[in-house]
Amino acid sequence: MRLRLVPENTNWDFFRYARYTLGASILAVVLSLAAWAFIGLNFGIDFRGGTTIRTESAQAIDIGTYRDALQPLELGDVSITQVFDPGFGADRNVAMIRIQAQEGEESVAADLVANVEAALQTVAPDIRFTSVESVGPKVSGELILTAIYALGAAIAAILFYIWLRFEWQFSVGAVAALMHDVILTIGVFSVLQIRFDLATIAALLTIVGYSINDTVVIFDRLRENLIKYRKMELRDLMNLTVNETLSRTLMTSGTTLVALIALLVLGGDVIRGFVFAITWGIVVGTYSSVYVAKNIVLMLGVKRDWSRPDKTTAGTQFTTSGDDA
């Protein structure tokens, strides 16, 4: 007995509103880019430079009191946030204090960290620093460039791979879907002001890998059906392909999301941003595999008879002569 999330034989029309779904995706990308441009990202210490201090205390955290205690030190930009986690006991109060890199220094000096601890002990005598992480402005700038290069190289390699394995229309559709997923994820991080750090870059690369895997599975079935049903309209053929792979897509995404949601709820604040990025990426990645990648292939058209070369129309025709399989 096998578990099925969808009936064995489905005939849903995924491209009935192709123009609207593609238009909605384009609008979402534009809004995400606008949020990125006007709101900006909440860069973590990896990209901004400075020092992050994690504190613990049995005494309840009062962010205003903490800020007042640090005010005389004139540290510049200081961000204080309380960390909530289901696994914390009532006597475990955790805060994250982010201090910008001081002028002329690569990071906050050790003596200044000691001054910060002394200042906070005046309002929370039992406070202790469980971790202190520092990144210099020069290093953070290099990390941003490296992250951009990593994403660009991954997408370029995928573009080349899909182009070799299929046709150029498939490559364009796959890369458009990947860019859609990455930009929407960045847009959500911008709107919600979730911390954007190196862990988020790792999540984006994971999203790229997951999304292209889902897209290639459907592309493989589509290529088989292009040979099998040579006279079927491309739109109907693509609907058939998506319906045939629908159970696999939902089972793969669903089981992955179960594990991710558990990590999102119980995994703690350290990995929460990373897990949220992957969770969001899987949702939009599953959507884009059909409603972005396949919509673009449908618009561009594909070569229909893969059993023989067609030098004049290869890769541009919706139909060619031949018999139905």
Q: At 15, which amino acid appears? A: F
**Domain total of the chain:** 2
Label residues 261-291 b or e (16+ Cβ within 10 Å = b): eebbeebebeebbbbbbbbbbbebbbbbbbb
pTM, to two decimals: 0.71
Residue with tokens 């079927």: 232
> Do 210 and 266 reside in the same domain of the chain?
yes
DSSP symbols for 264-288? HHHS-STTHHHHHHHHHHHHHHHHH
> Do 77 and 148 reside in the same domain of the chain?
no
* CATH number for 230: 1.20.1640.10
> Do 116 and 28 reside in the same domain of the chain?
no
> Do 89 and 189 reside in the same domain of the chain?
no
> Do 146 and 283 reside in the same domain of the chain?
yes
Q: Is residue 8 part of a domain?
A: no
d(CA 74, CA 144): 28
Structure tokens at 239: 């609907």
d(CA 164, CA 162): 5
* CATH number for 112: 3.30.70.2040
Cα 126 off chain centre by: 39
> Do 80 and 227 reside in the same domain of the chain?
no
Neighbours of 211 (CB within 10 A): 27
> Do 184 and 60 reside in the same domain of the chain?
no
Per-residue pLDDT of the chain (325 residues; tens, 9 = 90+): 555 666 667 777 787 887 888 889 999 999 999 999 998 888 776 777 778 888 888 888 888 888 888 888 877 767 788 887 777 777 788 888 888 776 656 556 777 888 888 888 888 888 888 888 777 666 666 777 887 888 888 878 877 877 777 777 888 888 888 889 889 999 999 998 888 877 888 888 888 888 888 888 888 888 888 778 777 787 888 888 888 888 888 888 888 888 889 888 887 666 788 889 999 988 998 888 888 888 888 887 776 554 555 554 444 443 443 444 4
Paired with 54 in beta bridges are 96, 131
> Do 234 and 113 reside in the same domain of the chain?
no
Q: Is residue 226 part of a domain?
A: yes
Q: Which of 277, 300, 146, 145 is nearest to 211 (CA)?
A: 277
Range of the domain at 82: 50-135
Q: Is residue 306 part of a domain?
A: no
